[in-house]
A and B are shown apart, each in its own frame.
Chain A
Amino acid sequence: MIELRQVTKKYGPLEALHEVSFTAPRGQITGLLGVNGAGKTTALNILTGYFPPTAGQVLVDGMDMLTDSARCKRQIGFLPEKPPIYDEMTVREYLTFASRLREVEARSIPAHVREIIGLCGLEEAADRTLGRLSKGYRQRAGFAQALCGAPPVLVLDEPTVGLDPRQVAEIRELMRRLGEKHTIIFSSHLLSEVQQLCSRVVILHHGRVLREANLGDMMEDGGALRLRVSIALGESRLLPALRSLPCVRRVKTLPTQDAAVTEAVLECDAAQDPQTQLFHLLAAMDAPLRLLYPERDSLEDVFLRATEEG
């Protein structure tokens, strides 16, 4: 649906993005993760046509943003980090203006605006001026603006930043609902938010893409499987045996109060069926297995590892 191809952006001598390529597939929520200054906002501004890249291409449904700008922009609704709102307008006037900008047919604008107001929970504030609204309502109005013209793609730059927990939950719920019909790309540095909402994740760091994968694949990165075990046998006998298993890459012991019990995390090669190898070893050693479960990486682990390596 949306693709960045080898996009580079330079601000004078500073290179904000370096040959960034990623794809946001149709009908999925893609999260753009990165620390502050990673290049997320620059990437989203280029993706929406706010400014062009120094080099590279942005493709929207196969159309080039540079050569077919108006058609590409019709496909995209954009909520920048600071909602682009006019303080002197009421919410209804603002959404009417945004609908006109997005070439909604004049006759259907009132109904279109009513629908968006309902969808974003703005009924109470519909006829109040934007300058007098709370931050949460202003953010929602900005969100509503992105929906005008019913674009199939929504690009949201840190949509929950600065909101209180209840407002955050409301915006996330709205994104989840919209994600059923729209392709959504949003940036965030909140890992939990990305983990909750996204099916696909792109990690940006210092203007480069470090990882791009479906969320599930990213968590099981590198074919590694981590097994959390508790075995009723002392470490001195057990650890050399565990390390001798072909599937085990690394053993990390955990503190225990009973010297006759070993608590550990085994980092194994998932392709070598580590559970079976472990079963045979423990059976041969007559060591009772008290606990065994696979431990998954959190997105935080993946992100920290990726940015440290990057």
Chain B
Amino acid sequence: MTAIYRREMQGYFHTAVGYVYMGVFLAISSVMFYALNLRERSSDLLAFIGYMSYLWMLLSPVLTMRLLAEERRTRTDQLLLTSPVSLPGVILGKYLAAVSVMLLTLLCTGCYVLIVALYGRVYPGELAAGYLGFALQGCAFLAMDLFVSGLCRSPVTAAIAAFGANLAMWMLDLLAAAAPGWLAAVLEFISLYARNEPFLMGQLSFASIVYDLSFAAAFLALGVFTLHARRVK
């Protein structure tokens, strides 16, 4: 698993993928930070994080599209699957690499916090809860998009399909508003955005933490199952 993690990290930064992801993320986030905090002279970073959470929908596929689809297209999966590494090891190695790049990018947004701390007031507890929810939501999206990558034969298809899945996840909130009572409850329960709301209010929600982690674990397990099923077919 470590070997695969290291290779994927190398892959992100030997190609443009890692730089494009970080560059676009930080460019958009800096525009948002300017619009929401600097221009408005606001120290409310939770609102900033709330808007930023829509970025996962757009950018998470950039990190995951190659992970399994590219291996399948170039047949390099033969190297991985004939090595002593287990299928969960393959999936986990790739997933953790994607999560690492995401966390590294989040770390860079720490400079916004520093700027606010210099000129205003930061509430560390609330901010930590906001960042935790943001990161967990990112982990959940990455797991789902990694699973989608395992279903596709080319990275481009994987990116488009993952974007579609992310969009569907966002639309759950809209559907919930229009759905009858019990269905709305189910949709809100599933929605990653609804799950993120307590964090955006500075609350530490264990239910949301467990949900986000379970969501990620379920899609990783599905990813393993997909690889296994394709081999047996």
Residues of chain A having any CB pair with chain B under 8 Å? 11, 45, 48-52, 69-71, 73-74, 76, 78, 80, 82, 84-89, 93, 97-98, 100-103, 145
Cross-chain contact B84 with A84 (CB below 8 angstroms): no
In the bound complex, residues from chain B placing their C-beta under 8 Å from that of A51 are 81, 231-232
A97–B78 contact, CB under 8 A? no
A82 contact set on B, CB distance < 8 A: 75
A11, B232: Cα distance in complex, Å: 9
Known contacts: A50-B231, A88-B14, A89-B10. The answer to whether A76 contacts B82 by CB under 8 A is yes
Seen from chain B, the residues whose Cβ lies within 8 Å of a Cβ on chain A are: 2-4, 6-7, 10-11, 14-15, 74-86, 231-233
Q: A51-B231, A52-B231, A102-B83 are in contact. List 20 more A-B contacts (CB 8 A).
A: A45-B78, A69-B86, A70-B84, A71-B84, A74-B84, A78-B78, A78-B79, A78-B82, A85-B76, A86-B74, A88-B11, A88-B14, A93-B10, A97-B3, A100-B3, A101-B4, A101-B79, A101-B84, A101-B85, A145-B79
Q: How far does the alpha carbon of A71 sit from the alpha carbon of B86 in the complex, in Å?
A: 11
Q: Which 7 A-B pairs have the closest CB atoms?
A: A100-B3, A84-B79, A51-B231, A101-B83, A70-B84, A84-B76, A48-B82
Name B85's closest neighbour in chain A (CB-CB): A101
* CB nearest to A74 among chain B residues: B84
User: Which chain A residue shows the least CB distance to B14?
Assistant: A88
Closest to A10 in B: B233
Give the interface SS of chain B, mostly helix, strand, loop or mixed. Answer: helix
Q: How far is the CB of B173 from chain A (nearest CB, A)?
A: 39
Instruction: For the complex, give the distance between the alpha carbons of A45 and B233 in Å.
Output: 13
Q: Tally the A-B contacts, defined by beta carbons under 8 Å.
A: 67
Measured CA separation A97–B83 after assembly (Å)? 11
Smallest Cβ-Cβ distance to B231: which chain A residue: A51
In the complex the two chains form, is B6's CB within 8 Å of A97's CB?
yes
Are B81 and A50 in touch, CB under 8 angstroms?
yes
**A89-B14 in contact (CB<8A):** yes
Which B residues touch A102, using CB under 8 A?
A: 83-84
Can you list 10 A-B pairs, Cβ within 8 angstroms, ordered by A? A51-B231, A76-B82, A78-B79, A84-B77, A88-B11, A93-B10, A100-B2, A101-B80, A101-B85, A102-B84
What separation, in Å, do the CA atoms of A73 and B87 have in the docked complex?
A: 13
Instruction: Report A-chain residues with C-beta under 8 Å of the C-beta of B78.
Output: 45, 50, 78, 80, 84
- Chain A residues positioned under 8 Å from B77 (CB to CB): 84
Contact A50 B14 (CB under 8 A): no
Residues of B contacting A103 in the complex (Cβ-Cβ under 8 angstroms): 84
Q: Given the complex of chains A and B, what is the CA–CA distance between A49 and B232 in angstroms?
A: 11
Closest-by-CB residue of B relative to A142 is B79
| B residues less than 8 Å from A97 (CB atoms) | 3, 6-7
CB < 8 Å: which of B2, B84, B232 contacts A52? B232
In the bound complex, how far is the Cα of B11 from the Cα of A85, in angstroms?
13
Q: Which residue among A11, A70, A82, A100 has the maximum number of chain B CB atoms within 10 Å of its CB?
A: A100
Pair B82/A49 contact, Cβ less than 8 Å: yes
A7 to B78, CA, bound (A): 20
- A86–B76 CB distance below 8 A: yes
Q: Are B86 and A70 in contact (CB under 8 A)?
A: yes
